[in-house]
């Protein structure tokens, strides 16, 4: 029988913190109704950190997906009447620290240094290309949103993630300027972009058609893998149907040997998906999916195996 006097774990959440101070970290916060003891436990699985707490889980047990670039998941399991185990699984191992806060709620805070991401992105120049602009408004949703406006929001979120991990970010446009396709491609070449990411929305005559899509530069062999990894990472973040990958010789093909993709973040003609574009959290999660895909691609490109 569980000890009723044991502290009770009531909530687990995570965030990326410290961007303003220049010391970015992922923080996993475990909340309880009272302070609790803990110890680091041995783990047979690489890339995991196990913490055994002298507490009882009253929140649902199971695995919480995070996928914030560094941390994959957090799992909670009551392994015996007096021990609740936390298992953190990360994509790229690095330094961490554990702190406690004996307020109400009591908190155990696991801080994972995001320096491994900086090592991946350092020296990389990513050009973000929010589509359309000016009098070219792109597609319009069934209510009133325009493509040219919503892609700027996602681009800004993606920039925060990339610069927070020491990536260099350039834009083809940051305001409502009108720039034609050849000028955008020329900017990528002149600035020596390592990766080119164009942001658009899809459109269909039928309002029930939905989903996101990733297109790629067919003239650059690495671009198809980049598109695949970004598509898969988007699936971890947003519950949208992913359309088939597609080469884009008419626009991205002009990039030459620059790896490039276009992400159609939603089908804006879909009533529900236009509604998603009104939610800041949707733009954050979409940007996070693109960010994760870029990271995984860079790791594969740097892996001699």
Give the DSSP per-residue string, 176-207.
S----HHHHHHHHHHTT-SEEEEEEEE--SST
What's the pLDDT score for residue 67?
96
Do 88 and 167 lie in one domain? The reply is no
240-287 residue pLDDT tens: 998 999 999 999 999 999 999 999 999 999 999 999 999 999 999 999
In angstroms, the CA 302 to CA 55 distance is: 43
| Structure tokens given for 294 | 């870029």
54-82 residue pLDDT tens: 999 999 999 999 999 999 999 999 999 99
Do 164 and 78 lie in one domain? The reply is no
In angstroms, the CA 66 to CA 51 distance is: 18
Percent of the chain with pLDDT over 90: 90
In angstroms, the CA 113 to CA 100 distance is: 17
Q: Residue 36's domain spans which residues? A: 8-113
DSSP 60: P
Do 140 and 59 lie in one domain? The reply is no
What's the pLDDT score for residue 130?
98
What's the pLDDT score for residue 23?
76
Do 99 and 174 lie in one domain? The reply is no
Confidence of residue 21 (pLDDT cuts 50, 70, 90): low
115-146 residue pLDDT tens: 999 999 999 999 999 999 999 999 999 999 99
In a domain, 1, yes or no: no
In angstroms, the CA 259 to CA 109 distance is: 39
Say whether pLDDT at 22 is over 70: no
In a domain, 2, yes or no: no
Phi and psi at 244, nearest 5°, equal -65, 145
Last residue of a domain, one of 97, 113, 129: 113
Last residue of a domain, one of 62, 87, 113: 113
| Structure tokens given for 211 | 């989903």
- Beta-carbon contacts of residue 8 (< 8 Å; ≥ 6 apart): 32, 33, 34, 55, 56, 57, 58
Mean pLDDT score across all residues of the chain = 95
Confidence of residue 2 (pLDDT cuts 50, 70, 90): low
Q: Residue range 146-164: average pLDDT?
A: 97
What's the pLDDT score for residue 56?
96
Bridge partners of residue 120, in order along the sequence: none
Angle at the Cα of 146 (from 143 to 152), degrees rounded to 5? Answer: 135
Total of domains in the chain: 2
Last residue of a domain, one of 48, 80, 113: 113
């Amino acid at each position: 029988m569980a000890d009723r006097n044991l502290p009770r774990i009531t909530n687990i959440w995570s965030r990326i913190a410290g961007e303003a101070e220049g010391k970015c970290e992922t923080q996993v916060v475990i909340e309880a109704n009272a302070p609790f003891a803990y110890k680091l436990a041995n783990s047979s699985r690489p890339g995991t950190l196990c913490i055994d707490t002298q507490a009882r889980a009253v929140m649902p047990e199971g695995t919480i997906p995070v996928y914030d670039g560094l941390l994959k998941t957090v799992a909670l399991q009551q392994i015996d009447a007096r021990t609740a185990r936390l298992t953190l699984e990360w994509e790229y191992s690095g330094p961490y620290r554990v702190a406690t806060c004996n307020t109400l709620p009591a908190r155990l805070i696991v801080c994972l240094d995001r320096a491994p991401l900086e090592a991946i992105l350092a020296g990389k120049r990513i050009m973000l290309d929010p589509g359309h602009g000016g009098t070219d408004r792109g597609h319009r949703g069934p209510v009133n949103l325009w493509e040219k406006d919503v892609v700027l929001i996602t681009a800004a979120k993606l920039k925060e993630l990339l610069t927070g991990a020491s990536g260099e970010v350039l834009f083809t446009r940051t305001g409502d300027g009108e720039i034609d396709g050849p000028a955008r491609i020329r900017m990528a070449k002149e600035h020596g972009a390592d990766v080119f990411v164009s942001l658009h929305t899809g459109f269909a005559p039928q309002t029930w058609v939905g989903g996101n899509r990733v297109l790629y530069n067919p003239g650059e062999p690495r671009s198809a893998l980049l598109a695949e990894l970004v598509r898969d990472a988007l699936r971890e973040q947003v519950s949208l149907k992913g359309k088939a990958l597609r080469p884009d010789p008419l626009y991205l093909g002009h990039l030459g040997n620059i790896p490039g993709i276009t992400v159609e973040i939603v089908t804006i003609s879909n009533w529900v998906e236009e509604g998603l574009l009104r939610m800041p959290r949707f733009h954050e999660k979409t940007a996070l999916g693109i960010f994760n895909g870029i990271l995984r691609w860079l790791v594969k490109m740097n892996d001699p195996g």
